[in-house]
Amino acid sequence: MIFKWFDERLELRKFKDKFLSKTFPTHPTFLLGEIALFSFITLVITGIFLGFLYEPSVKMVSLFGAMVPAAYASVVKTDLLPMGMIIRRIHHWSAMIMIASILVHLMRVYFTASYRKPRELNWLVGLGLWCISMGAAFTGYLLPYSKFSTTATSIAYYIAKSVPWIGDWISRLVFAGDFPSAGTVPRFFFMHVMLIPMLLVGLIGLHMLILVKQKHTEPNSNKKKKEAEGGRRLIGIPIWPEQTIISLSFYLFLLFIIVLVATYIPLNPIENYGPPSPGTPVMRPDWYFLVVYGFLKLIPGDLSFSILGGNITPETIGGVLFPAFTILVFALIPFLDKGKGKGLQNYTENPLHRPFMTSFGIGGGVFLCMLVVAGYMDVLHLTARTMSIYIILASTAAWSISYTLLRLYNKKRMGEDNDEA
């Protein structure tokens, strides 16, 4: 009845026939992108709740007899409300899960070569989503305006200032002047609740549109089955109703996990940190920024030189050039690894059958994980020199061992195939 009413006005049946009958692959790794999507939806819903209570200002106000910044006071008061603290924790945990699932989703796409023609563009859109999601986490960091937030943001401030030629301009644009200053919190609030979510919604929409147009890749094991049946349709289940029911159940399960974790594991308990004070020590950022933080710690503090009037400092190398280079390498992957032939490559590859790319991914992954460990160099009592040697040894070993093993495996596999033939 309701459907009929809307259908007569909006021709919903056409939409249903065109989009909702499309097929979704049944392999569970295709749910990784959905985890990122669902975490984002949870972030928006909990963010709206927090937005009603948050005060984006650093003017000093009284809280339990002490003078503290208004932003800090508003978050402490949120934690005291019924449901306030749990919603703030759900928001923070959803952000963690979103970033983690983006990384695992990216790894799925990388290791199965799902970035090849025609999906190069969606790979680039995905990279944009990754960078902007990191921006969302970064701008959210500062908002509670605790000791933790301000030290983490000040590292980024010095990185922004270190960009040759345009560093001052970038820091004025992002931090609204010096940091800390009265303008930074309102500027970050605007970026966190308005600019970045809009960009994310737009890019996620584009990512999904391209996906609907190009369809998913399919596991290689489907190839023979489809050729035998002479079918062109993707093997899987229709979006409506099967996949929708699976996705919704999956979302409820994910929510259950997030709420469970948020109930027992506090994140960023600002009451323990307190508001910023002049002698605040530098604190380690959350895990997803540790790669850059660890890299910064490895660079000798006196390493600086100038090129065409622009100063290159350790902050420029660790905080600007290294992340830019890493993203560039990721962006080039679909254009360097095109696979066999020039046609469309709609089947996923088995990672075990691609020794070079798989071992490159494993070596690169170990390198990045070791940089996270470098973020804890002081705790481990390691010098930058020793840590650098460990990083080179671990990533080279991971790369060469996995490459050798995969080559041997493939030699054996080819031999068996020839025997069978």
Residue 391 is a binding residue for ligand HEM (CB under 6 A) = no
Instruction: Provide the token pair at 398.
Output: 């991971």
Q: Which is nearer to ligand HEM, 34 or 315 (CB)?
A: 34
Q: Which is nearer to ligand HEM, 3 or 240 (CB)?
A: 240
Q: Which is nearer to ligand HEM, 32 or 68 (CB)?
A: 32
In 3-state terms the chain splits into helix, strand, coil percentages (rounded to 5) of 70, 5, 25
Stretch binding ligand HEM (CB under 6 A), from 35-43, 71-79, 219-227, 388-396: 35-43
Q: Give, in order, the Cα–Cα distances in Å from 15 to each of 5, 147, 204, 240.
A: 15, 51, 20, 12
- In a 10 Å sphere around its CB, with 0-12 CB exposed, 13-18 middle and 19+ buried, how is residue 88 labelled? buried
- Give the bridge partners for 307, in sequence order: 310
Q: No. of H helices and E strands in the chain? A: 18, 6
Q: Which is nearer to ligand HEM, 127 or 373 (CB)?
A: 127
Q: Which is nearer to ligand HEM, 53 or 211 (CB)?
A: 211
Residue 34 is a binding residue for ligand HEM (CB under 6 A) = yes
CB atoms under 10 Å from CB of 338, counted, come to 13
Grouping H, G, I as helix, E, B as strand and the rest as coil, residue 349 is coil
Residue 97 is a binding residue for ligand HEM (CB under 6 A) = no
Cα end-to-end span (Å), the chain: 61
Residue 199 is a binding residue for ligand HEM (CB under 6 A) = no
* Shortest distance (Å) from residue 327 CB to ligand HEM: 10
Residue 47 is a binding residue for ligand HEM (CB under 6 A) = no
Position with the least CB separation from ligand HEM: 126
Backbone dihedral region for residue 315 (phi beyond 0: left; psi -120 to 50: alpha; all else: beta):
alpha
Instruction: Provide the token pair at 416.
Output: 């068996």
Kindly write out the interface string for residues 112-131 of this chain, putting x where it contacts ligand HEM by CB under 6 A and - elsewhere.
Answer: --xx---x--xx--xx-xx-
Q: Which is nearer to ligand HEM, 55 or 218 (CB)?
A: 218
**Interface with ligand HEM in residues 267-326 (CB under 6 A):** none
DSSP assignment, residue 233?
Answer: S
Q: Give, in order, the Cα–Cα distances in Å from 203 to each of 2, 76, 289.
A: 32, 33, 22
Q: Which is nearer to ligand HEM, 33 or 144 (CB)?
A: 33
Residue 254 is a binding residue for ligand HEM (CB under 6 A) = no
* Shortest distance (Å) from residue 103 CB to ligand HEM: 8
What burial letters (b/e) apply to 253-271, b meaning 16+ CB within 10 Å?
A: ebbeebeeebeeeeebebe
Look-up: residue for tokens 């020199």? Answer: 385
Q: Which is nearer to ligand HEM, 202 or 300 (CB)?
A: 202
Stretch binding ligand HEM (CB under 6 A), from 210-218, 299-307, 366-374, 391-399: 210-218
Contacts of 17 (CB under 8 A, 6+ apart): none
* Shortest distance (Å) from residue 101 CB to ligand HEM: 8
Residue 216 is a binding residue for ligand HEM (CB under 6 A) = yes
Residue 72 is a binding residue for ligand HEM (CB under 6 A) = no
Select the residue interacting with ligand HEM from 68, 90, 109, 320 (CB under 6 A). 109
Residue 58 is a binding residue for ligand HEM (CB under 6 A) = no
Instruction: Provide the token pair at 419.
Output: 């025997």
Q: Which is nearer to ligand HEM, 102 or 387 (CB)?
A: 102
- Give the bridge partners for 24, in sequence order: 237
Q: How far apart are CA 250 and CA 11, in angstroms?
A: 29
Which residues are near ligand HEM by CB under 6 A? 30, 32-34, 36-37, 40, 102, 105-106, 109, 114-115, 119, 122-123, 126-127, 129-130, 133, 204, 207, 211, 216-217
